Amino acid sequence: MLAAGLCALALTVFSCKGPDKAASGFVHPGIDVTLADLEWIKAQVQEGNEPWKGYVEELENGRHLDFIPEPTSRVIRGPYNNPDIGASQFSASGGRAYACALMWYFSGDEAYARKGIEIIDQWSRRLRSFDENDTKLIIGLVLPEFCNAAEILRYTYPGWTEENTRSANTLFMETLFPYIRYYSSEANGNWDGSLLQAILSTAVFTDNREMFDNAVYHYLHSPCNGSLLKYIWPNGQCQEMTRDMGHVKMGERLFAKAARVAYNQGVNLMEAADKRLALGLEYISKWISGEDVDCYGPATLRNRNDPVSETYAWFLNYYTSQGIDLPYLRKATENGTRDVVGFLLSHSVSFKDAPAELQPVKPSPIAYMVGAQKAEKTSAAPADAIVVKPGDDLQAVLDANAGSGKTILLKAGEYKVKKTYNVPTGITLKGEGLETVFVCEPTIFNAAFAFSGFGQKDVTLCDFVIDGAWDHSPGYDPNTGRFSRDARLGNSLNGLFCQGDVDAPHTNITLRNLTVMNFSRNGVYFSDTKGLNIESCDFTENGSHVVPGDRIQHNLLLQRCEDVKIVNSRLDCSFKGSGIVLKSCFGVDIEGCEISRNNWHGVTASDSRDLTVKGCLIEANDACGVFIDYLAAPSENITVEDNTIWYNNGFAVSSSAARNLVSRNNRYVFNGKQKAQEDISPKIRYQLEEL
- Length of the chain measured in residues: 691
pLDDT score for 491? 85
- 552 domain residue, yes or no: yes
Give CA–CA dist 647/672, Å, rounded.
7
Is the Cβ–Cβ distance between 465 and 436 less than 8 Å? yes
Q: How many domains does the chain have?
A: 2
The candidate with the shortest Cα–Cα distance to 261, out of 224, 211, 300, is 211
Whole-structure pTM value: 0.95
- 485 domain residue, yes or no: yes
Tell me which residue range forms the domain holding 462.
450-681
Q: Which residues of the chain have pLDDT under 70?
A: 1-24, 488-489, 687-691
What phi, psi does 507 have (nearest 5°)? -140, 145
Cβ burial, residue 345 (10 Å; 0-12/13-18/19+): buried
- 26 domain residue, yes or no: no
Is the Cβ–Cβ distance between 180 and 198 less than 8 Å? yes
- 669 domain residue, yes or no: yes
pLDDT score for 274? 97
Apex 100 CA angle, 95 and 102, nearest 5: 100
The candidate with the shortest Cα–Cα distance to 341, out of 147, 58, 151, 113, is 58
Task: Indicate the angle between helix axes 110-126 and 162-169, nearest 10 degrees.
Answer: 40
Sign of CA dihedral 407, 411, 412, 416: negative
pLDDT score for 482? 77
Is the Cβ–Cβ distance between 613 and 642 less than 8 Å? no
The candidate with the shortest Cα–Cα distance to 11, out of 197, 275, 350, 270, is 270
Residue ending a domain, among 273, 288, 312, is 273
Give CA–CA dist 86/591, Å, rounded.
55
pLDDT digits (tens, 9 = 90+) for 252-305: 999 999 999 999 999 999 999 999 999 999 999 999 999 999 999 999 999 999
**Residue 603: how many CB atoms within 10 A of its CB?**
31
- 563 domain residue, yes or no: yes
Residue ending a domain, among 247, 273, 299, is 273
List the CATH number of the domain containing 97. 1.50.10.100
Residues facing residue 641 across a β-bridge: 614, 664
| Residues 6+ away with beta carbon under 8 Å from 468 | 440, 448, 485, 491, 493, 495, 517, 518, 519, 520, 542
- 296 domain residue, yes or no: no
| Residues 6+ away with beta carbon under 8 Å from 2 | 663, 668, 677, 678
Residues facing residue 676 across a β-bridge: none
**Residue 54: how many CB atoms within 10 A of its CB?**
14
- 320 domain residue, yes or no: no
Indicate the SS3 state at residue 79.
helix
pLDDT score for 485? 77
- The H-or-E segment that residue 543 falls in is none
pLDDT score for 90? 98
- 344 domain residue, yes or no: no
The candidate with the shortest Cα–Cα distance to 602, out of 640, 563, 546, 658, is 640
Residue ending a domain, among 273, 303, 319, is 273
pLDDT score for 688? 56
Residues facing residue 345 across a β-bridge: none
The candidate with the shortest Cα–Cα distance to 371, out of 509, 571, 554, is 571
Give CA–CA dist 53/233, Å, rounded.
39
Indicate the SS3 state at residue 139.
helix
Sign of CA dihedral 248, 249, 252, 255: negative
The candidate with the shortest Cα–Cα distance to 505, out of 459, 543, 542, is 459
